[in-house]
Amino acid sequence: MTLHGQQIAVLVEDLYQELEVWYPLLRFREAGMKVVVVGPERKIYHSKHGYPVQADATMEEVSGEDFAALIVPGGYAPDRMRRYEEMVNLVREANRAGRIVAAICHGGWLLASADIVRDRTVTCYYAIRDDLINAGGRYVDREVVRDGNIVTARKPDDLPAFCRTILEALGER
């Protein structure tokens, strides 16, 4: 499986969950991929506990087709991200291009806003289960779920399986 050099996007906004940004960011860099942190602006974003991450690019500077995978972390950041039509379109565009679209925890909010969970099997943090069901998703309570190009997970404890599943999906391409 040749993953070296593939480009991955990790989306950010303020109030992100620390591990759900940093674990994939470092894991995919370790695998030799180019990880691009994408936010509404090129600035420093802070986690729920104040931990900083610098956005490398803005949502207007990239396209969903630019990346092999797009990762949506949880925390309260996805609720903020979905307020930007450009961010919603980025997710929708990546899905339409058949790229891996992965969300963990509350990240499912952004997938629901992009209308890409309809008729797909997904998981998420239990508190937003109804949101994904109301968006047409088939919710299951498992650490990670892959339905085609969509990969979802429930919480930080699921990060090893989440990243492993993303890597497996990328290796199949």
pLDDT (0 to 100) of residue 173: 79
- 80 falls within a domain: yes
- Domain hosting 56: range is 7-171
Weakest mean pLDDT among 2-6, 32-36, 128-132: 2-6
pLDDT (0 to 100) of residue 98: 98
Q: pLDDT tier at 2 (50, 70, 90 boundaries)? A: low
- 1 falls within a domain: no
Q: pLDDT tier at 3 (50, 70, 90 boundaries)? A: confident
Q: In the predicted model, what is the mean pLDDT of residues 152-157?
A: 98
- 2 falls within a domain: no
Q: Over 80: is that where the pLDDT of 1 sits?
A: no
- 25 falls within a domain: yes
- 108 falls within a domain: yes
Query: Is there a catalytic annotation at residue 105?
Result: yes
Q: Over 90: is that where the pLDDT of 25 sits?
A: yes
pLDDT (0 to 100) of residue 5: 87
How many independent structural domains does the chain possess?
1
Which of 4, 46, 49, 106 does the annotation list as catalytic?
106
- 153 falls within a domain: yes
For residue 115, how many C-alpha atoms fall within 13 Å in the half-sphere facing its CB?
2
Which of 4, 49, 105, 163 does the annotation list as catalytic?
105
Q: In the predicted model, what is the mean pLDDT of residues 25-36?
A: 96
- 157 falls within a domain: yes
Q: Over 80: is that where the pLDDT of 145 sits?
A: yes
Measure the CA–CA gap between 106 and 40, rounded to whole angstroms: 18
Query: Is there a catalytic annotation at residue 106?
Result: yes
CATH of the domain at 31: 3.40.50.880
